[in-house]
Amino acid sequence: MRLDLAEFPVKQIHLGKRFHYDGGIVEVDQRALTDLMLEDRRIEDASLEVVHPGEKVRVTGIRDIVEPRVKVGCQGQVFPGSLNPVEHVGEGTTHRLSGMAVIATAAYEGTVRAGLAVQRSALLDMWGPGAAASRFSSLLGLVLVMRLKETLSDLDAHQAIQGAELKVAQRLGELTVGHNAENTEAFDLSDTWPDLPAVVLIQGCLTDSHNVHSGVSYYGLPIRDSLATFVHPNELLDGAITVTATRAVGHFPITWDWQNHPLALGLCRQHGKQINFLGVILERIQFDTFLGKEVAAHSASQLAATLGAAGALVAWIGSGNAFVELMLTIRACEQRGIKTVLITYEFGGKDGVDSPLLYYLPQADAVVSSGSRDRWLELSAPERVVGPYKEFSILTYPGAPVVPAMGKITLDARDMLIGGVDNWGSQSWRCDAY
């Protein structure tokens, strides 16, 4: 199963009257893309904006981010199940527009008004402290600004937002057809080496039982009620995994992150050199009962053992009691003789002196930190605001005070900043000892 991922870097984005790609310059037909979004009658209004790294602009109402990709010269389509028919992906050739992102924003309040299931959007600063904290500030952004019809259900809102962003991403990817890629990287795990250790990536996926579309979807089907599922890493590159498009939270990886999963890519690149990479196990976490957590851990570890794993890299999405499954999974793997390494962000509080992990078992004796979630951020006032919200609430309870988007903002955690938490170690951090 070999996938050739062809890279077409983007250096400029222009809103114009035609679709064109040449030498890193992308020109998009503004009217055509707007009409493409408005094909879904659940979207009442749509417009486009471009944001640049270093520009003093704040983007509000972010629901998801995706990288433009398209399949070329082979069967299958990107985003199977979520946009296109369910077909086998992960083989052939895929084109990607690197260095840019389609940023989906929408005004939507949701039917759940408080609690963990409340619908939330995120913001992004393209300059200053906010930019330094987010991996997405370095990308050229094509911002989709959508206004949805009132009284939409959460599922309808999710489908409308995600459908629009994925259609735009695929249409932009098509601009590369007929052009020569600047770089092509092959991903192929077919060959194995008996003298190298077999390693699997166990990826914990936070899900929410309150919403039918919530959490992570595999080929468009939420994994909420599933046990451990094996996935070939090439499927991630073709968009077989997407996320909820109505609840962007800083510590939740989004669709762009799954397309560019740094751990999966890193393990693929070490295949045949230091390890035999077996693939990815998706593990549903955040069960409501301890029995559910124990069964999830057992299922993931048993699948890893069945695949012949000698080692497992364990990562996760989310917070709260979902961390219990993660620790139980590590214990279950270690009891089966599978050595584990956990990668996680820390809590620690404002000053970094609180407990860094919510739950701990002694079997988790190899842990890599990807930085803190709880550190405060002081965001300066922008010169321009893009997105549906000119003011918004940082907190999620009913009646919470609002702040103007054009003003200074204090974040007591990085939940509201898209990309503000580095779940999978995709950014470079430095640790200072005092």
Closest by CA position to 235, among listed 87, 385, 42: 87
- 185, 262 Cβ separation under 8 angstroms: no
The β-bridge relationship of strands 140-148 and 92-98 is: unpaired
Q: How confident is the model at residue 279 (pLDDT cuts 50, 70, 90)?
A: very high
Packing angle of the helix pair 30-38, 154-173 (nearest 10 deg): 150
| Residue 57 falls inside a structural domain | yes
The β-bridge relationship of strands 229-231 and 216-218 is: unpaired
Query: What percent of the chain is modeled with pLDDT above 70?
Result: 89
Residue 433 has pLDDT above 60, yes or no: no
The span from the CA of 27 to the CA of 17, in Å, is: 8
| Residue 296 falls inside a structural domain | yes
| Residue 419 falls inside a structural domain | no
Structure tokens at 209: 């039982």
Query: Positive or negative CA dihedral for 380, 123, 422, 6?
Result: negative
Range of the domain at 45: 2-411
| Residue 428 falls inside a structural domain | no
- 141, 127 Cβ separation under 8 angstroms: no
pTM: 0.93
Query: What percent of the chain is modeled with pLDDT above 90?
Result: 61
Residue 80 has pLDDT above 80, yes or no: yes
Q: How confident is the model at residue 121 (pLDDT cuts 50, 70, 90)?
A: confident
- 36, 392 Cβ separation under 8 angstroms: no
Residue 117 pLDDT: 58
| Residue 115 falls inside a structural domain | yes
More confident residue, 411 or 24: 24
Residue 382 has pLDDT above 90, yes or no: yes
| Residue 433 falls inside a structural domain | no
| Residue 261 falls inside a structural domain | yes
Residue 58 has pLDDT above 70, yes or no: yes
The amino acid at residue 420 is G
Over the stretch 176-210, which tens digit does the pLDDT of each residue have? 999 999 999 999 999 999 899 999 999 998 776 55
Residue 420 pLDDT: 84
More confident residue, 203 or 109: 203
Q: What does pLDDT average to over the chain?
A: 88
| Residue 420 falls inside a structural domain | no
Q: How many domains does the chain have?
A: 1
Over the stretch 280-319, which tens digit does the pLDDT of each residue have? 999 988 888 899 899 999 999 999 999 999 999 999 887 7
Residue 415 has pLDDT above 60, yes or no: yes
Residue spans of beta strands (DSSP E) within 207-310: 216-218, 221-222, 229-231, 241-243, 276-285
Q: How confident is the model at residue 272 (pLDDT cuts 50, 70, 90)?
A: very high
Average pLDDT estimate for 86-111: 91
